């Protein structure tokens, strides 16, 4: 399990790194808020252990930035701040669990196992086709880390095509999805929306994802 520890206390940081690595984790230790902030956005992380009172950038700030940007990596707050109000503030900011110092390492390990298990069991909110990501919770669309601005209709159209990636999607299917009507239509409204969407997700990138299947419809497919 890839674990990031953001902790400025030298003794606690060393102890956590040693204990987690002995337990089989790949542990990265950030000793201040600034470096922890940069590392926390790594999509390969399985879990983050986060102190709140950090130099440069507070733990709460880091946590809020993660959640505001749609990063769902499980976070365990590990701090000396243990009042009810402080616990509530940490959980409301997006933490998955909260443990107060001093702590028992076996309890910390058990809590990390629990929150990562819950994360794996939770339904995904991100659709992915090759380099294209669509986050249903934040309504953000990115390709190769570049954000793509879509209208609500374009977002709905892309979501439908991503859910049917690798399959031919007909004009009638798109009409029924977008307007909830069994209607083929006589205008080129579907083609217009598809063309605009294609321009946004493919135009500035090397490999096209949107394909026209002549006489049948469209397909979203990564090489």
How confident is the model over 9-15, as a mean pLDDT?
A: 96
Reported pTM: 0.58
Return the CATH fold of 126-220: Arc Repressor Mutant, subunit A (1.10.10)
Tell how far CA 112 is from the center of its chain: 19
Give residue 186's pLDDT band: very low, low, confident or very high (50, 70, 90): very low
The answer to whether residue 123 scores a pLDDT higher than 60 is no
Name which of 22-26, 63-67, 75-79 the model is least confident about.
63-67
Give residue 44's pLDDT band: very low, low, confident or very high (50, 70, 90): confident
Three-state DSSP at 169 gives strand
Class of domain 2-121 as given by CATH: alpha beta
Residue spans of the domains in the chain: they are: 2-121, 126-220
Cα–Cα distance, 80 to 109 (Å, whole number): 18
Biggest CA pair distance of the chain: 71
Give residue 75's pLDDT band: very low, low, confident or very high (50, 70, 90): very high
């Amino acid at each position: 399990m890839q674990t990031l520890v953001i902790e400025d206390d030298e003794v606690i940081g060393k102890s956590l790194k040693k204990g987690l690595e002995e337990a089989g984790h790949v542990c990265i230790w950030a000793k201040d808020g600034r470096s922890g902030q940069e590392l926390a956005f790594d999509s390969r992380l399985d879990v983050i252990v986060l102190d709140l009172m950090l130099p440069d950038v507070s733990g709460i700030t880091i946590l809020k930035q993660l959640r505001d940007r749609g990063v769902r990596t499980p976070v365990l707050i590990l701090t000396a701040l243990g009042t009810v109000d402080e616990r509530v503030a940490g959980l409301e900011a997006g933490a998955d669990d909260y443990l107060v110092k001093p702590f028992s390492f076996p309890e910390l390990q058990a809590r990390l196992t629990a929150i990562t298990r819950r994360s794996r069991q939770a339904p995904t909110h991100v659709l992915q086709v090759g380099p294209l990501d669509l986050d249903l919770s934040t309504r953000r669309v990115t390709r190769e880390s570049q954000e793509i601005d879509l209208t609500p209709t374009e977002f709905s159209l892309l979501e439908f095509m991503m859910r049917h990636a690798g399959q031919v999607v007909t004009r009638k299917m798109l009409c029924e999805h977008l307007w909830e009507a069994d209607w083929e239509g006589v205008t080129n409204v579907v083609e217009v929306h598809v063309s605009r969407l294609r321009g946004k997700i493919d135009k500035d990138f090397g490999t096209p994802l949107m394909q026209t299947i002549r006489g049948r419809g469209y397909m979203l497919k990564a090489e």
